[in-house]
Structure 1
Amino acid sequence: MAFPALAIAVSSTSSTFRRDLLDLGLASETAEHGLLRLVFGASPSRAKALPGGWVPSVAAALVHYGLSMSRVVGLLGLVFAAGLGTGATSLAGLALGGLLLVGSALVHELGHVVAYRLAGGPGAPAIAVAKGMKCHLVRRRLSPRRDLLVAAAGPLAPGLLVLPAVPLVWIAPLAFAAWIAIALGHALCALCPVGDGLTIWVALAQLRRERRAAADTRT
């Protein structure tokens, strides 16, 4: 099965065809019932084609990813409220750290969406895939420089919010310090050859090959 708009082809003869489609975000599945599974178990995989334009795309991705993360946010919110209500400040602090971590993941994914719209154009096809906290963007492959921009935008996005969040130094210094630590963690992940880091390494390798090829043609 081919998806030419995204330059993707999936073998329909594969025994894992359905799973391949789910992983790519080209199909959706519904959640299984059960309270414990609803709270702690596997989340449903949902795919949503993003609209054209970077503002509508960011808004659609924010809602799509946010709803996917809402169960975790709700659970952490309950723990935070329980910690405050019972005076267990350490419990409330842990829940707040979890909420900041979830927020950073959302900012990370929105960074990819914004960069893709800027690098790929307002009408470039893309599918937002959300499965609980596991979210990613299925998109068309771009030039190495633009792929590098889109891949790096996610890990760097939480760090870009540090300056606007400077007032938190006086309001909530611990939360500000926690956000800086989380942002550094996202940035360091870009150096690892997995996920976004792998895309960055591949794009850099392609750029080096292009430069060598251009140097060879000049000589």
Structure 2
Amino acid sequence: MTAAVVLSPRPGAALGSTARALLTATAPVWLPAGALAAVSALLGWLLPTVLTVSLLLLLASVLVHEAGHVAALRVLAPATPAVFRVDATGAGVCRPPLADTRREVAVVLAGPLAPAVVWTLGTALGAAAGGVPAAAVVWTGIVALGHPVSLLFPVGDTRTLLRALTR
């Protein structure tokens, strides 16, 4: 399914419309995955539970990644016209480059860094609340830290970052 929304200049409204668009477009995946995760967990089936929860975790990390871009854009350049789109090929913010290179770099880096920041805070809060199973910390950490590691490859955010740094 395809979804596209014009982003409001207000950060909260922009984040809300981004989340709605992504959740709506990916509902054909996360709804059955969530149901399968719940049923397989109740039945004690480890492999289907791990696989479906992993898929849900990946979808959540994409939402956090895109929310990082949107939040940074709306804080650093609220008047910049932008559309959030999601389709079968991926999700992203379509916008013109920012004139200020530092702000452009900050908006680009905010996406890949957001899942790692959320994971770090969640792990710290979980530890403070009495602990989180080590497997959950490791598995969510792999997904969260995969986003900044993706900056090592010349695709997506890395290409945008390289364009910003070389203009």
TM-score, normalised via structure 1 length: 0.68
Write the distance in 1 (CA, Å) between the matches of 2:154 and 2:18: 26
1:176 pairs with 133, 137, 141, which one? 137
Over the matched positions of the two proteins, sequence identity in percent amounts to 29
Greater shift, 75-84 or 167-176, is seen at: 167-176
Which structure would you say has the larger RCO, counting Cα contacts within 8 Å and 6 or more residues apart? 2
- Match of 1:164, SS state, is helix
Write the distance in 2 (CA, Å) between the matches of 1:199 and 1:100: 25
Shift of 1:132: 4.9
Conservation of the 8 A alpha-carbon contact between 2:98 and 2:104:
yes
Given residue 157 of structure 2, which amino acid in structure 1 is its aligned partner? D
- Match of 1:165, SS state, is helix
Q: Can you list the C-alpha shifts for 1:20-72, whole angstroms capped at 9, x where unaligned?
A: xxxxxxxxxxxxxxxxxxxxxxx2x2221111211111111111112112221
Shift of 1:140: 2.2
Shift of 1:176: 2.1
Alpha carbons of structure 1 residues 173 and 70: separation in structure 2 relative to 1, 3 Å: farther
2:32 pairs with 72, 75, 79, which one? 75
Write the distance in 2 (CA, Å) between the matches of 1:171 and 1:102: 21
- Match of 1:136, SS state, is strand
Write the distance in 1 (CA, Å) between the matches of 2:137 and 2:52: 15
Shift of 1:133: 7.2
Q: How many residues align?
A: 162
Aligned to 1:32: none
TM-score, normalised via structure 2 length: 0.88
RMSD value over aligned CA atoms?
Answer: 1.7
Aligned to 1:147: 104
Shift of 1:130: 1.5
Q: Can you list the C-alpha shifts for 1:165-207, whole angstroms capped at 9, x where unaligned?
A: 124452343222111111221111112111101111122223x
Conservation of the 8 A alpha-carbon contact between 2:18 and 2:84:
yes
Structure 1 residues 48-197: aligned runs within 5 Å: 48-120=5-77, 122-132=78-88, 134-143=90-99, 144-166=101-123, 167-168=125-126, 170-197=131-158
Write the distance in 2 (CA, Å) between the matches of 1:172 and 1:113: 31
Write the distance in 1 (CA, Å) between the matches of 2:30 and 2:149: 25
More helix by share: 2
- In the alignment, structure 1 segments of 5+ residues that lack a partner are 1-42, 207-219
